[in-house]
Amino acid sequence: MPDFLDIDRLPADDLRAILDAARRMKDARAGRPKGAADDEAALAGRVVALVFEKPSTRTRVSFDVGVRQMGGQTLVLSGAEMQLGAGESVADTARVLSRFVDLVMIRTFDPAALEELAHHATVPVINGLTDRSHPCQIMADVMTYEEHRGPIAGRKVVWCGDGNNVFASFAHGAARFGYSLVFAGPEALDPDPEIVAEMRAEGAEIAVERDAARAVEGADLVVTDTWVSMHDAPETKEERHSLLAPYRVDEALMARAAPDALFMHCLPAHRGEEATDAVLDGPASVIFDEAENRLHAQKAILRWCLGV
């Protein structure tokens, strides 16, 4: 059965089919109560394990609600409850879970744990986030851009800040969805050069610009993320803030983007740090549409994995 581990592992046609399905399901729910079941109970009789080594709000709620809306059941497990890779090997955990559930979604730190789980599981595995990538987020982001502005192919996407796991998935997306991508951030926090090189080799247009104002010029989409992630050491906070301050997204920076540019942030936002309130709550911001679309995009991913 197919896994959903990273965007660059899937052909563009499959990714487009997933987004088309997500849009259809979202449209079909218009005006219905949040807890109402979909007309098509695609996951009836299915059990999905949601494994969290990292804390979560949007990932946990969106996957849990999505499975329930499609008639399935969820089993939510924390890393402490499972002792993943500590009390039991990841491989054995994968084999055991595969006997009880129909699919595993995991949000973890180490990408190697995701790979090992997927290798040994006999049911599909979805990457809910690792320190390397966050593919479900970018599927929701592309969906959000396209429902507001049409096809993202040929558009200019600018990332301001840290070259982190979310940027990595944006780089994967550039190779599959055909947008150009500019990284605007300090050299000390550059994205993984291997990922950038691989995606360029696959035809992605990815540039690096140290000056945020030049980077954002004419952008169709401006994206940022929190400056201090949950896996960053607390003692690095001051240093990271100093490095990233020139890349704060404020009204002056957004004014350099295209007149109809959108602003995204995967949340949670530290208001006044990576972006100002005026931008987060401004007319270009689609951050809460973006958050909602995690639900719809992931429902489509679940169905794609299970072939239903």
Cβ-contact 294, 136 below 8 angstroms: yes
Q: Point out the catalytic residue in the list 46, 58, 120, 134.
A: 134
What span, in angstroms and rounded, lies between the C-alpha atoms of 133 and 146? 22
Question: Is the bond preceding 268 in cis, omega lying within 30 degrees of 0?
Answer: yes
Q: Point out the catalytic residue in the list 46, 58, 107, 303.
A: 107
User: Is-catalytic flag, 225?
Assistant: yes
Q: Point out the catalytic residue in the list 3, 46, 141, 266.
A: 266
Q: Point out the catalytic residue in the list 155, 225, 265, 298.
A: 225
User: Is-catalytic flag, 266?
Assistant: yes
Q: Cite the DSSP H helix spans in the chain.
A: 12-28, 58-69, 79-82, 90-100, 111-120, 135-149, 165-177, 193-201, 212-216, 237-244, 251-254, 277-280, 287-306
User: Is-catalytic flag, 294?
Assistant: yes
User: Is-catalytic flag, 32?
Assistant: no
Cβ-contact 153, 121 below 8 angstroms: no
DSSP state of 38: P
User: Is-catalytic flag, 58?
Assistant: no
What tokens were used for 185? 């951030």
Residue 7, SS3 per DSSP = helix
Q: Point out the catalytic residue in the list 120, 137, 176, 265.
A: 137
Q: Point out the catalytic residue in the list 294, 298, 303, 305.
A: 294
User: Tokens 């999505």 belong to which residue?
Assistant: 66
Does residue 166 come out as left (phi exceeding 0), alpha (psi in the -120 to 50 range) or beta?
alpha
Catalytic residues: 107, 134, 137, 225, 266, 294
